[in-house]
Every structure is written in C-alpha cells, then in structure tokens.
Copies of this chain bind each other. A is one copy, B any other.
C-alpha cells in the first residue's frame, strides 16, 4: 500500500521534504493513559509485546493521539537474546532480568543464531497487523538493539551502573567477546530482515550502552558489528542511535546507514560537521525539556529546529520520553516542529 505520509523515509534518504518529519523514541508507552489501559488488560510488559493485536494497537496510538509522522513497533530489544536461547523477565520498576547469563564457551555453545521469522513470529505478526491497520497513514519503524548493548545485558543479566562484568569480558576475553558479538550480529541481521519482509519501512539500531566504552573499545566491540548490520540491510533506510558515543561521530559518518541519532549532549553544529553532509541527523531535544511549561517547550523546540536549519533532519528527542511526561506537552513539541518547518521551508 502506498504511504500517504512518507516524510520520514524521504528525509532519511536526504530528499527534500515539505516539512521536517517528527516522532519520539518511546512514544508508544507509559506516558499515554490509552497505553496504560491496554497494559492493565494483560499480565505484564512481555505478554503485551507477545500479543500481536495489542502490540499493534499501542503502536498506532501515538499516531492518532500525538500526530507523529511514524509509528515504531511496540517491542523490546531483549527479544534477541530470548530468541537465541536466553529468556528474560521484566521486573516491575527494576527493568529486565536474565535468570541465566553467558560467561563461558559452554554457555556460548548453548546459544543459537536467531531466525527472525521462526523465533520471533509474534513480532512479525504485530508488524503485519500494524501495517494493515495503519492503512498507509505513516511509515512503520522496526528496530533492534546494537550488538554491544545486547552483549552487555546477556553477560550482566540486567542493567548496571558500571557494567563491570561485561567490560571485564572485553578486557579479559576478547575471543569470547567477539564470538558472542558475532552470534548476536547474525541474529540481529536475520531479525531486521524478517521485520522488513513483514513490512517495516525503516529500521533503527539502539546502542543504549555505547557511552560506557572508551573510543578504542567502542570501535573494536561495537562499531564493527553495527557496520556489519548496516552493510547487510540494503532494503530500507537504517538509523543508528548510539547514546553517549560522541567520540564516534566521525565514524558514524562513514557507516552505510541513512540516519544518525544525536543525544541531547551532542552539539548540533559540531555533530553535523563531524558526521558530514551525507547523513540525516535525528534528534535531539533534551527529554527533560518536556518538563517545562507549554511556552518553554515551544521555545526549546523552536531553538532546536533553528539549529538544525538547512541540515537533513528528522525531529525527535535526544533519548526516549521519560515516563512521567505530560502528553499535552509532547503534542506541543510535535506541533512546534510542524509549525517551524512549514514556516521555514528550505
């Protein structure tokens, strides 16, 4: 079905658009009362993500409620370890938790390379239902975690302040580390290709723990695998968002991806210079700016748009929406992007 609003895809490819597309990381989720109502009808986050009709419903909610230019499939980056043979649980207020972790050669042998279609059929079903119900209104974004971030969860077993166990692995056992990273990478490529076959119009890689590595380790243990994924995904545009990886911006400019996400620490002009003119930039309002008044949110969004003026741009926050954000102020952000960019066409 032909897309009625393909601003996101054209902006990702660097084509001229009549205005700047806008969406928000974590737009489908806790900030919306309509999401919380669906969430309360099931036992937990994982059941919701594994019930395709409901996942599709919460995926589409922000398109209706917030007026964004893209939907992003409701899922989780940790479905990949699960599909590789390492199941996880979602502990209320604490986050994800893996009963078993990976630390030895023997553990590696128990893992398999995930096949997107077979192992994660519920995600593909959710994508197909979403595409059908969206009726071409906006593009649908698929996603996966970047291999280093998935590695950190699989070795650590949960989030962590210092990620000591996973960083110890990189130092103590680079051979093991590269083996596990390659398994994750191969699984992720299968998974993203299956999402694209199911209907995803663009895919985004989230490297949530990028900022914990120094530049040399990031290049060896993260960028190398992100690069493999970018090379493998040729069907749709790819966005790379690596939180905290300010030191790798020049390298991001050389990836075969369409778009690079910026977090709110990254100066827009400097990032544009480092990444170069051949990428679209996505971001990067401070999510905490949405704690301001409507007038403050409007002013902060306007300032951000002015800094992106003349650059290839997809408007977004510099990180996921914080759960206690007022949806009315999210609407102010979306509306301001639309107003600014309609009034300041290139």
A234 in the interface (beta carbon within 8 A): no
Report the separation of the CA atoms of residues A163 and B288 in the bound assembly, to the nearest whole angstrom: 9
Q: How many residues of A contact B (CB 8 A)?
A: 33
Beta-carbon contacts under 8 Å, A308-346 to B: 318, 322, 324
User: When the two chains form their complex, are residues A288 and B247 in contact, meaning their CB atoms are under 8 A apart?
Assistant: no
User: When the two chains form their complex, are residues B214 and A167 in contact, meaning their CB atoms are under 8 A apart?
Assistant: no
User: When the two chains form their complex, are residues B211 and A171 in contact, meaning their CB atoms are under 8 A apart?
Assistant: no
User: When the two chains form their complex, are residues B247 and A291 in contact, meaning their CB atoms are under 8 A apart?
Assistant: no
Beta-carbon contacts under 8 Å, A225-280 to B: 244, 246-247, 264-267, 270
User: When the two chains form their complex, are residues B324 and A288 in contact, meaning their CB atoms are under 8 A apart?
Assistant: no
A105 in the interface (beta carbon within 8 A): no
Closest to A263 in B: B214
User: When the two chains form their complex, are residues A171 and B292 in contact, meaning their CB atoms are under 8 A apart?
Assistant: yes
> Known: A214-B265, A247-B246, A267-B215. Contact between A288 and B167, CB under 8 A?
yes
Closest to A296 in B: B171
User: When the two chains form their complex, are residues B164 and A324 in contact, meaning their CB atoms are under 8 A apart?
Assistant: yes
Distance (Å) between the CB of A342 and the closest chain B CB? Answer: 26
> Known: A162-B322, A247-B246. Contact between A291 and B171, CB under 8 A?
yes
Most B C-beta atoms less than 10 A away, residue of A167, A288, A296: A288
Q: Indicate which residue in B211, B214, B215, B267 contacts A247 across the interface (CB closer than 8 Å).
A: B267
A217 in the interface (beta carbon within 8 A): yes
**Residues of A in contact with B (beta carbons under 8 Å apart):** 162-164, 167-168, 170-172, 211, 213-215, 217, 244, 246-247, 264-267, 270, 286-289, 291-293, 296, 300, 318, 322, 324
13 A-B pairs with CB atoms under 8 Å apart are A162-B288, A164-B324, A167-B291, A170-B288, A171-B288, A171-B289, A171-B291, A172-B291, A211-B244, A217-B286, A246-B246, A247-B265, A247-B266
